[in-house]
Structures are given as C-alpha cells and as structure tokens.
Amino acid sequence: MNDSVLTSEQILDAAEQVLRRYGPAKTTVVDVARALDVSHGSIYRHFPSKAALRDAVAARWLHRVSQPLRAIVEEDGPAPQRLRRWYDILIATKRAKILDDPELFATYHGMIMDSREVVEAHVEELVAQIARIIASGVKRGEFAIDNPRRAAEALFHATTRYHNPLHKAEWRDPNIGRDFDALWSLLMAGLGAKAAQKP
C-alpha cells in the first residue's frame, strides 16, 4: 500500500483483523503495519502510540453500539415508547456481541477495560441520549420530573444488570426478561409516566 494514501480508517480495519488473530496482548503496531504492507512509522503518523491505536479501535467498537440508538433519540414519537425501544436495542446489541461471538468479545472487552477514558466517553454518550429522550417526554407532558440529566443517570445505573457486560453470566437466566419488565414499570412510575408501555 502507498503510505501517502493510508487513512486512519484503513489502519483501524487492519488493527481489528490483527486483534482477532493475535489478541490485544500480542498485537503490536508492527503487526498492523505488516498487514497493510507499510512501515510502522506510517501507523505512528496517524496514532502516536500503541495505546492510542488501541483506544481508537475500542472507541470505534463501542460506537457501533451507540450509533443505532441515535436514530431513536432523534425521533418525535412518545418518549416512554422510544425510551423502551432504545433500551431494547441496547440490550439486544450488547447480548449479541457477547453471546454470539464470545471469543471476539473477550478480545475487545479486555482491551476496553484498559481504556477507561474511552469507556467513560461511551457511558456519557449513552446517558446523554437517555437524557434527551426524557427531556422530550417532559416537554410533551409524558414524564413529570425536574432534572432529565439526573433521571437519565439513575435510569442507566438502575438497569446495569441488563446491559453491562460484567453481568453477562446472568443474561441466560430465563426470567431476565420478566425481571426487566418489572423493573421497567417501577422506573416509568418514578419518571411519572402515565403507563409503562412497550413500543
């Protein structure tokens, strides 16, 4: 490949493939450069260190979780139903990544746990999306709370069992859907919603 036309996205694509093959502990910048048939200096022109490259790969992987949720935030339908659909997609996406390809998930999860700033930015993005949906519900008279941001934080943390990979061992529990529905009814009551409806 010609170094002059190398892009950050091409590097990230190659890094993902190399990570799949070797895992985060054994993957080096030289491995990524070799996969692209460029010098390792070409990689460093885009990412100043292995840690920066790792963080960029982790951020892109987490972006694939948050990106589909943005469309729901931008919709104009009833907030309680949008919020439930937002959660249904979040939970389904996380479970698919973990349960359908556990080896690949283990690779990314180990890498992400070393990228605390990336994780914090991901959580902040998700909480901000929840807050926007709640704020729209307050404006429409569907929720009765004073602080959408604080409510979003509380909602996110209250539902951790259902979307945080640390709880993945619990996700095969046949009653987990029923438990989430019961929790959801309580949370919607706490937001002052007239009815805890699914979409």
Beta carbons within 8 Å of 31's beta carbon, 6+ residues apart: 18, 22
Kindly report, residue by residue over 39-51, the tens digit of the pLDDT.
999 999 999 998 8
pLDDT interval class at 147 (50, 70, 90): very high
What's the rounded Cα separation, in Å, for the pair 83 and 136? 11
Whether the predicted pLDDT of 81 surpasses 60: yes
SS3 26: coil
Q: How many domains does one find in the chain? A: 2
- 55 and 36, same structural domain? no
Q: Are residues 37 and 57 in the same domain?
A: no
Cα–Cα distance, 153 to 169 (Å, whole number): 24
CA distances from 124 to 62, 80, 103, 161, 175 (A): 12, 21, 27, 18, 29
Q: Which domain holds residue 18?
A: 3-44
105 and 126 together in one domain: yes
Mean pLDDT over 184-188 rounds to: 96
Q: How confident is the model at residue 91 (pLDDT cuts 50, 70, 90)?
A: very high
DSSP letter at 172 equals T
In a domain, 177, yes or no: yes
179 part of a folded domain: yes
Q: What distances in angstroms separate CA 116 from CA 19, 20, 112, 120, 121, one per listed residue?
A: 19, 21, 7, 6, 9
Give residue-wise pLDDT tens across range 125-140.
Answer: 999 999 999 999 999 9
Q: Do 70 and 110 fall into the same domain?
A: yes
Q: How far apart are the first and last CA of the chain?
A: 48
Same domain, residue pair 59 and 156: yes
